[in-house]
């Protein structure tokens, strides 16, 4: 009887254990214990903390001492590159330019007096005016090149010089004394004006100077595209106008006294023109107007060459040596160099914006005196480019090997929670900083242009520098992985209601702080267990 009771008890215990086991295997798996294998993008990043910085910052100063004549901006003004911000009283600099211009003319007159026995060469009457005009041509052409390269500040400087030169040329042509010069006679031996087109030239110069003002205004308002087109058009107009100016200056493109070498160079140009005309004659689409124009130009140059030879013959018959003539020419060139230096000094009386930006401070006012001792150290305008921003941060030494120039970054700014901006790593320092036993390395990240964010210098920011990225790959949470590196497994949930699972080995790819790329072992949509 006792033996039977013991057997029954053992059977009951076995049934209880079996029931418990069956109940345990069929325990339902909760949703928060599982994660779905999904397909998406995986980004690997390294964090960097730092602050925003505005690297394009300039404390603009005058290049000369003097009295502040005009301040054209105030704090908070937005200006474009090339905008005129402030000027000095330029009275002495303008007088210096005129004095240097006079020395150029004096050197030319010296050549005239000594080379021609006091007889004024017919082709030398307005040499200085032509010189200034051609300098303006070169300066406007260079301004166009600078605009095409987005160098607005340099373009504005050249346009200012061109305006000075065109104005100087105009003053020469407007000299009333020119109307009294009579060097030609008609068939009836009646005197003819030496420069019959002076009024036309003055009117053309006035129009070109007005166009220059318009181009400068376009630059100041940010109309760079319009300015480029206007500069190109003005260059073309000046090229057309050059023929009229040259014919009234009687100078064949040289600023020193023309000699036999000059005549030879012009003769070679004539030969080139004749060769071009010959080619045009064999063209099926012959343009007779162009051929006629080329012939007239060749004839003009040939006459010019003969005039130079005639004058050179007079010079050498008077006993002047080529060495002496060269010395006179060098005097002219030296005077021209001094003139150019005076023009550069005149340009230093203006402050132009070197880039687009915001006026942060104007620490001087009109009529302030800048002395010889403080003009070079006293800022007149503080300009900051608020559109060009970089973040200066640091990266821990354990991560720095993964950071490279050119990598993309996503930046979070404490002052704008929830907003992110992008950027690119532009500098990784090869030297670290040792602070309190820890080593970190400086990095610089230039931010991409942002809209709607008024960023400011020194704001605190954090950058996630992207060091690796996979697109459209299988991803699971890191908490789903089990086992040592090289032998990782996941637990796949076959039936969460019945608690049926399967352990499976997987191969992984990239891994960040929260997720892992699955290369093999899982399929999209499968469920895996995750652990706390």
How many CA atoms are closer than 13 Å to the CA of 508, on its beta-carbon side?
Answer: 24
**Which CATH number is 371's domain given?**
2.40.50.100
- 440 contacts 432 by C-beta, under 8 angstroms: yes
Region 147-171 average pLDDT:
84
Q: How far apart are CA 258 and CA 130, in angstroms?
A: 14
Q: How far is CA 363 from CA 83, 87, 392, in A?
A: 18, 14, 29
Q: Quick one: 356 and 272 in the same domain?
A: no
Distant-in-sequence, close-in-space partners of 281: CB < 8 Å, separation ≥ 6 = 291
pLDDT tens digits along 466-486: 988 888 989 989 888 988 888
- The whole-number pLDDT of residue 393 equals 92
Would 484 be classed as within a structural domain? yes
Q: How far apart are CA 264 and CA 251, in angstroms?
A: 15
Q: Quick one: 317 and 373 in the same domain?
A: no
Chain centroid offset of residue 280 CA: 42
What pLDDT band is residue 445 in, cutting at 50, 70 and 90? Answer: very high
Region 46-66 average pLDDT:
89
- The whole-number pLDDT of residue 440 equals 92
Q: Quick one: 411 and 346 in the same domain?
A: no
Q: Quick one: 264 and 326 in the same domain?
A: yes
Would 178 be classed as within a structural domain? yes
- Which DSSP string do the residues of 406-472 spell out, in sequence order? T-EEEEEETTSTT-EEEEEEEEE-SS-EEETTEEEEEEEEEEPP-SS----TT-EEEEEEEEEEEEE
- Closest by Cα among 299, 258, 293 to 130: 258
Mean pLDDT (the chain, rounded): 79
Q: Quick one: 323 and 435 in the same domain?
A: no
- The H helix count followed by the E strand count for the chain is 9, 23
Higher-pLDDT residue of 263, 508: 508
pLDDT tens digits along 98-112: 888 778 777 777 766
Distant-in-sequence, close-in-space partners of 506: CB < 8 Å, separation ≥ 6 = 481, 488, 489, 490, 518, 519, 520, 521, 522
Q: Quick one: 285 and 191 in the same domain?
A: yes
Domain assignment of residue 508, given as a range: 31-52+388-529
Q: How far apart are CA 46 and CA 233, in angstroms?
A: 52
Q: Quick one: 441 and 301 in the same domain?
A: no
Q: How far apart are CA 500 and CA 422, in angstroms?
A: 45
* Secondary structure class of 219 (helix, strand, coil): helix
Q: Is the pLDDT of residue 185 over 90?
A: no
3-class SS string, 241-290: HHHHHHHCCCCCCCCCCCCHHHHHHHHHHHHHHHHHHHHHHCCCCCCHHH
* pTM score: 0.58
Write the burial class of residue 490 (CB in 10 Å: 0-12 exposed, 13-18 middle, 19+ buried).
Answer: buried
**Which CATH number is 514's domain given?**
2.40.30.170
Distant-in-sequence, close-in-space partners of 181: CB < 8 Å, separation ≥ 6 = 125, 193, 194, 195
| 492 backbone dihedrals φ, ψ, rounded to 5° | -90, 130
Q: Is the pLDDT of residue 311 over 70?
A: no
Higher-pLDDT residue of 90, 278: 90
Q: Is the pLDDT of residue 122 over 50?
A: no
- Residue count of the chain, please give it: 532
Which of 2-6, 159-163, 257-261, 327-331 tops mean pLDDT?
A: 159-163
Q: Quick one: 492 and 376 in the same domain?
A: no
Q: Quick one: 262 and 214 in the same domain?
A: yes
Would 436 be classed as within a structural domain? yes
Would 21 be classed as within a structural domain? no
Would 15 be classed as within a structural domain? no
Q: Quick one: 415 and 337 in the same domain?
A: no
Compute, in degrees rounded to 10, the torsion defined by CA atoms 275, 277, 281, 282: 40
* Secondary structure class of 86 (helix, strand, coil): strand
Higher-pLDDT residue of 81, 128: 81
Q: How far apart are CA 112 and CA 132, in angstroms?
A: 20
End-of-domain residue from the set 338, 365, 385: 385
Q: Quick one: 364 and 298 in the same domain?
A: no
Q: Quick one: 161 and 235 in the same domain?
A: yes
Q: How far apart are CA 43 and CA 402, in angstroms?
A: 14
The total of structural domains in the chain comes to 3
- 115 contacts 325 by C-beta, under 8 angstroms: yes
Would 361 be classed as within a structural domain? yes
Q: Is the pLDDT of residue 118 over 50?
A: no
Q: How far apart are CA 256 and CA 261, in angstroms?
A: 12
Would 8 be classed as within a structural domain? no
Strands 38-53 and 381-384: unpaired
- Closest by Cα among 244, 235, 236 to 204: 244
End-of-domain residue from the set 335, 350, 365: 350
Would 2 be classed as within a structural domain? no
Region 29-42 average pLDDT:
87
Lowest mean pLDDT among 137-151, 282-296, 450-464: 282-296
């Amino acid at each position: 009887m006792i033996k039977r009771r013991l057997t029954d008890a053992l059977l009951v215990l076995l049934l209880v254990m079996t029931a418990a086991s069956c109940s345990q295997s069929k325990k339902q798996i909760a949703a928060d214990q599982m994660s779905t294998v999904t397909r998406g993008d995986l980004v690997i990043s390294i964090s960097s903390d730092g602050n925003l910085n505005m690297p394009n910052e300039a404390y603009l100063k005058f290049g000369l001492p003097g009295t502040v004549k005009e301040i054209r901006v105030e704090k908070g003004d937005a200006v474009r590159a090339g905008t005129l911000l402030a000027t000095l009283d330029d009275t002495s600099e303008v007088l210096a330019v005129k004095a240097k211009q006079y020395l150029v003319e004096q050197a030319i007159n010296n050549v005239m007096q000594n080379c021609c026995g006091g007889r004024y060469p017919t082709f030398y009457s307005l040499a200085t005016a032509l010189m200034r005009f051609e300098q303006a041509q070169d300066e406007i052409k260079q301004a166009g090149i600078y605009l095409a390269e987005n160098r607005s500040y340099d373009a504005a400087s050249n346009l200012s010089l061109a305006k000075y030169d065109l104005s100087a040329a105009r003053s020469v042509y407007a000299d009333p004394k020119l109307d009294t010069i009579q060097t030609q006679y008609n068939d009836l031996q009646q005197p003819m004006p030496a420069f019959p087109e002076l009024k036309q030239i003055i009117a053309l110069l006035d129009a070109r100077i007005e166009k220059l003002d318009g181009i400068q205004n376009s630059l100041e308002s940010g109309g760079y595209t319009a300015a480029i087109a206007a500069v190109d058009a003005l260059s073309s107009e000046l090229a057309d106008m050059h023929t009229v100016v040259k014919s009234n200056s009687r100078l064949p493109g040289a600023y020193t006294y023309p000699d036999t070498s000059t005549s030879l160079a012009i003769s070679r140009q004539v030969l080139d023109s004749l060769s071009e005309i010959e080619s045009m004659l064999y063209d099926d689409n012959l343009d007779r107007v162009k051929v006629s124009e080329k012939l007239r130009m060749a004839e003009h140059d040939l006459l010019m060459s003969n005039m130079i030879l005639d004058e050179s013959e007079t010079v050498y018959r008077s006993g002047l040596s080529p060495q002496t003539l060269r010395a006179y020419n060098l005097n002219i060139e030296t005077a021209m160099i001094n003139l150019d230096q005076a023009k550069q000094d005149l340009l230093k009386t203006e402050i132009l914006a070197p880039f687009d930006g915001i006026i942060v401070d104007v620490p001087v006012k009109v009529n302030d005196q800048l002395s010889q001792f403080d003009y070079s150290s006293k800022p007149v305008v503080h300009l900051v480019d608020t559109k060009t921003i970089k973040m200066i941060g640091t990266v821990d030494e354990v991560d720095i090997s993964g950071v490279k120039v050119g990598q993309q970054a996503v930046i979070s700014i404490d002052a704008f929670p929830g907003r992110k901006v992008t950027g690119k790593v532009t500098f990784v320092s090869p030297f670290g900083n040792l602070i309190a036993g820890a080593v970190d390395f400086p990095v610089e990240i230039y931010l991409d242009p942002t809209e709607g964010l008024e960023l400011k210098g020194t704001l605190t920011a954090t950058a996630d520098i992207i060091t690796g990225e996979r697109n459209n790959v299988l991803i699971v949470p890191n908490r789903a992985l089990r086992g040592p590196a090289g032998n990782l497994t996941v637990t796949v949930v076959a039936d969460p209601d019945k608690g049926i699972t399967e352990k499976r080995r997987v191969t992984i790819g990239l891994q960040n702080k929260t997720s892992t790329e699955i290369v093999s072992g899982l399929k999209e949509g499968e469920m895996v267990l995750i652990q706390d």
